[in-house]
Structure formats: structure tokens, C-alpha cells
Amino acid sequence: MAKTNSWSWDHIKPAFNFTVLVASLGYFVDMYDLVLYGIVRIPSLTDLGITGDALITEGMFLLNMQMLGMLIGGVI
């Protein structure tokens, strides 16, 4: 007797499609956040009273925290 598999690609395909859809939406939101941050970083930090070299230091800190959040979100 030939052994048959109890699963097929047809059973896995919907879950795979949903997983890819959710991951791509998360990626889209993360990239939009990074682009938006790049646009408003200097005006936002200036409005908060940060000037000079602190703009670079604080801006890099915030960017690094965004990257850490994306890394943790990707693992979870």
C-alpha cells in the first residue's frame, strides 16, 4: 500500500498567505514611520528646544530606539 500524506499545500496556503500579508503590512508601517521621522525630525526636536550638537545626538538616539523596536517587533 502506498502511504499518503495527511496534508497538502492546499491546506497550508491560506495560513501562509495570511502570514505574508500581516508581515508585509507590519513592514509597510515600519518603513512609513522611518520616512516620516526623517522628514519631521529636525523641526520636531527644534520645537522641543533641542539645538546644536544635541540635535544629532538626540536624533540618533531616537532613530536607534526605532530600529530596536522594529527588531523586537520582527522577533515577536
**Once rounded to an integer, what is the mean pLDDT over residues 56-76?**
89
User: How confident is residue 75, by pLDDT bands cut at 50, 70 and 90?
Assistant: confident
Contact 33, 66 (CB under 8 A): yes
Tell me what the mean pLDDT of segment 38-66 comes to. 93
State the amino acid at position 71 in one-letter form. Answer: L
**Contacts of 45 by beta carbon, 8 Å cutoff, 6+ apart:** 55, 58, 59
| pLDDT for the residue 30 | 86
Q: Please tell me the predicted confidence (pLDDT) of residue 2.
A: 58
Residue 48 CB neighbours (<10 A): 9
pLDDT at 10 over 60: yes
Domain spans of the chain?
A: 14-75
pTM over 0.75: no
The predicted model gives 27-47 an average pLDDT of 91
Q: Is the pLDDT of residue 1 over 70?
A: no
First and final C-alpha spacing in the chain: 44
Burial group, residue 52, by CB count within 10 angstroms (0-12, 13-18, 19+): exposed
